Amino acid sequence: MQPAIQVRGLSCGWGERLILRELDFDIQVGEVVTILGGSGCGKSTLLKHLIGLYPPLAGSILIQGNELVGADNQAREQILRMIGVMYQSGALFGSLSILDNIKLPLGSFSPLDPAAIDTLARLKLRLVGLEEFADFYPAELSGGMQKRAAIARAMALDPQILFLDEPSAGLDPVTSAELDQLIRRLAETQGVTIVVVTHELASIAAIADRAIMLDKSIQGILAIDTPAALAAASDPRVAHFFHAARPARAGTASVL
């Protein structure tokens, strides 16, 4: 089986500023992979390139075997239909109910009739435990519920790959742990490949099959392995990241 994502020789930057150089990695179908590292290491930059927001300086990005870099408009649209994205802020439309937020991509990109769209949107809300809040507006929900709603919208078109940008940011430990459980459940029950940008060690330990650790000093990948293996790594840069951060949340298994 071909990987869900294949990256070869990927270099990213802005203008003459190089941030990441010659990255090579694969993400397998059905994996949950976290992208981690210190501030300024390029986590968000890598994510934005993987979802096609910016063209790389060099290299290749294959999504389900399809080349994203340099794809024409039609091919690019088909590739991007394979992915869903949850942005750090949630990026929900405040003037729309939660249900209408999920219906929006369905109405724009699916051939379904309004009744079917409504049914499918409600099913997506049920998937994240928000079916009772369909008529609420984003401002009426807690931060954790907004993140769940944003995940439901990202899942609306049944993407093969789901990208989550700092899903635990701004959440209390209990809510963050519940969101971690949701992410693992989606991976296991929906068969979706999930890529998560995060710096939260408890989340990394709870959700990741593997982690890609970026390092600012080398402008690239310092290590790729399971969270447990990275926590036990002999490289002092890896060890410092895993052991200098906050301890795991109460009730969450720790790899430290």
Q: Does pLDDT of 42 surpass 60? A: yes
pLDDT for position 212: 97
pLDDT by residue (tens digit) across 216-250?
A: 999 999 999 999 999 999 898 898 888 775 444 44
Which of 3.40.50.300, 3.30.465.10, 3.20.20.70, 3.40.718.10 is the CATH number of 5-82+159-244? 3.40.50.300
The fraction of the chain above a pLDDT of 70, given in percent, is 94
- The residue type of 139 is A
One-letter identity of residue 126: R
> How confident is the model over 19-39, as pLDDT tens digits?
999 999 999 999 999 999 988
pLDDT of 39 reads 84
Strand order in the sheet with 210-215: 83-86, 161-165, 193-197, 32-36, 210-215, 220-225
List the structure tokens of 233: 């790594």
Give the Cα-Cα-Cα angle 128, 131, 135 (nearest 5 degrees).
Answer: 125
- Biggest distance spanned by C-alpha atoms of the chain: 57
Give pLDDT, residue 115: 94
Write out pLDDT tens, residues 90-146: 688 989 999 999 999 898 888 889 999 999 999 999 999 999 999 999 999 998 899
Please name which of 140, 203, 207 lies closest in space to residue 176, comparing C-alpha atoms.
Answer: 203
Query: 53-80: b or e for each residue (b if 16 or more CB lie within 10 Å)?
Result: eeebbebebbbbeeebbebeeeebeebb
Provide φ and ψ at 153, rounded to 5°.
-65, -40
Cα–Cα distances in Å, from 91 out to 88, 113, 173? 8, 25, 22
Which residue bears the tokens 């990275």?
230
What local confidence, expressed as pLDDT, does residue 254 receive?
A: 35
pTM of the model: 0.90
The answer, yes or no, to whether residue 65 has pLDDT greater than 90, is yes
d(C-alpha 98, C-alpha 195), whole Å: 24
More confident residue, 50 or 107: 50
Q: Helix, strand, or coil here: 137?
A: coil
Cα separation, 21 vs 37, whole angstroms: 15
Whether 38 contacts 241, CB under 8 Å: yes
Half-sphere exposure (CA, 13 Å, Cβ side) for 125?
A: 22
CB 86 within 8 A of CB 151: yes
Domain assignments of the chain as residue spans, ordered by start: 5-82+159-244
The pLDDT, as a whole number, for residue 245 is: 54
Q: What are the tokens at 62?
A: 């294959």
At residue 85, the pLDDT reads 94
What does the alpha-carbon distance between residue 239 and residue 2 come to, in Å, rounded to a whole number? 32
pLDDT higher at 82 or 168? 82
Cβ neighbour number for residue 214 with a 10 Å cutoff:
23
* Distance in angstroms (rounded) separating the CA atoms of residues 77 and 86: 18
d(CA 130, CA 121): 11
